[in-house]
Every structure is written in structure tokens, then in C-alpha cells.
Copies of this chain bind each other. A is one copy, B any other.
């Protein structure tokens, strides 16, 4: 039994004294304990060694006492497991030397073997659960099919992922074949994560906001819904289609338990679109963590009263930035913990 299951309660929509809090990218980056491991081991060693990955997963719980842990891993283990080389270039980001260009490339991608290639993730989950010792829930995750396609086609990070989008628009059938293949593996992958012990699953669609509403329906939503339909009986799901403000209303009717939003969506807009059908996660601008701790506290209390304390998971609208002082991150977490409804 979990000692703190606020996150699960919020995902079930139960009324709470205060909302739960965690931060995207909370494991890594700004923590000196993480930097110590980063100096010794390269990125994929940190991801693939279950002892290291689980240590990094637990670090923010030990030092900041969040209401949830999220597995330290990467969304690009999926293309890697399917057979594509993925390099992580420090301070620059991912690089895939061979990208997907045609049907033969897509046909060559593996699915069943890929799940076996991902055993290090399931092991990291098992060890993380042991180390967490039921303190808080563990969140597993995967990239959304559209976002994974973006990297598979483009081969690296990009401001607008023009090549990936051009592939979708000019090779529509191939794009859907690829998306369907990624979706199939993602479902198997997340089922195995849940079997290994994660309590919640988040789907990161980091680049869906580059699509028009109609293209989002076609290239992103279809596959997000397949995933949520397959998994919602097994664990609560958080969908995070970053930037896709226009999709809120429709996704609030899905089988997901929560939708993550960024700071461009006001509490009023989010609640009006979703009519309290679904829990909202978000949406503090990570840049505001540069402010003094007392201002962060004031903002967080305002955020909670704007959204209302129920059906809310307090989080950032994007990952925490690497140079945020620890005391500012602590101020964010503690502001949620000290929230008292004043009405």
C-alpha cells in the first residue's frame, strides 16, 4: 500500500485537501546528485543501467519530497529498440544517423524483438519500486507516436520539424503505417511497464502543437486514443499533447484520466473546455522558477485557486530548466504542500 497516493486520488477525481505535485524532468538536470552521476556515465549508460536509472528516479523524492516519482528514461528508447541507432550528444540532444525515408525503412523496424530490447526499462521499474518502498506512486512514460515519428524522420531535434511534417503531408499512407507500427509497440511497451510496477503512465506528445487541429486529429489523436483505449483499464493515463490547446475539449472525452497543459492555456479556458470531466495537470511556466521563492509561492497559490484544488495535479508546463536553483524548485513543491483553501 502506498503511503502517499494523492496522485492516484487526483487521477480518480477525488476531492482532496490539496492537489499533488511533481515536476516534469524532476529526475536529472538541476540536481547536484544527478550531475555527479552525469560526470561518470554517459546518457544511455544512465538510462540502461537499472541501478543508475532507479537511483536517478529516486533522487528528487529524497531531496524534494514530491508526490510522485517518474522513471528516469528517454522517449527515444523506442526507435532504438526498433532498430534505429540513437546517439545522445551532450548539450546538443538526440541524433539518429539513419532516418526513416521509405517503405523499406518502415518494414525493417522491429516490434516483438523490440519489447525484449527494452528489458532494461522494466528492470529499472522493478528496482525503482523497491527503492521507493511505497512512499509515492511511480509514473512510467512513452513518447506519443507522432512525436516519435518526428525524431525518426527528422533525425534530430528541430524548431518546426518541417521534414517530419512534410513526410506526413506528402507520404500520407507511409506516415500512417509508421505511426501504427510505433503505436503497436508503444502499447506493448506500456503494458509491460505497468506489469513491472508503474502506477500511472504519461504519454508525451512534445511536438503535437506543430499540427493544425485537423492534422492533429489525423496524425496524433487517432493514435493517442488507441493507446488510451488499450491501457485505461490497466492504469490511469495522463496525455500531454504540448501546445495542442485546441484538442482539450475532445480529449476530455477520452479514456485518459488527465490531460497535461502548458502555461499558454489559462485555468479558465482549460476548465471551460473540459467541464470538469477530466483532471488537469500543469501548468506553471518553468521560466518563472527563476523568480525569488516568495514570488513562486504566491504564483503557485494563485494557480491552485485559479484551477480549483480538485481534479488538479500541480506541475510545470514543460521540463524544469537545468540551472534552476534547488531552493526555487523546493519553493514550488512546498507552496503546493502549504496550500490551504481560503474560501
Contact = CB atoms under 8 A, between A and B. Distances in A.
Nearest to A317: B212
Interface string A254-271: 000000000111100100
A6 B10 CA distance: 55
A157 to B, nearest CB: 8
Nearest to A321: B162
Nearest to A167: B290
A170 B285 CA distance: 13
A213 interface: yes
B264 A211 contact: yes
B169 A290 contact: yes
Interface in A250-301: 263-266, 269, 285-288, 290-292
Nearest to A268: B213
A245 interface: yes
Contacts of A170: 290-292
A335 to B, nearest CB: 16
A211 B317 CA distance: 12
Given A243-B264, A264-B246, A162 B209 contact: no
A264 B162 contact: no
B212 A169 contact: no
A212 B269 CA distance: 12
Given A245-B245, A266-B246, A291 B169 contact: yes
A311 interface: no
A318 B292 CA distance: 36
Contacts of A2: none
Interface residues of A, number: 31
A48 interface: no
Interface string A155-166: 000011010011
A295 to B, nearest CB: 8
Given A209-B264, A246-B269, A287 B166 contact: yes
Contacts of A165: 285, 287
Contacts of A263: 212
Nearest to A211: B264
A206 to B, nearest CB: 11
A287 B169 contact: yes
Nearest to A165: B287
Interface string A233-251: 0000000000111100000
A300 to B, nearest CB: 14
B166 A290 contact: yes
B290 A215 contact: no
A183 B165 CA distance: 36
Nearest to A216: B264
A89 to B, nearest CB: 16
15 contacts: A162-B286, A162-B287, A162-B321, A165-B287, A166-B290, A169-B287, A170-B290, A209-B264, A211-B264, A214-B266, A243-B264, A244-B264, A245-B245, A246-B264, A246-B269
Given A165-B285, A165-B287, 4 more contacts: A162-B286, A169-B287, A212-B263, A246-B264
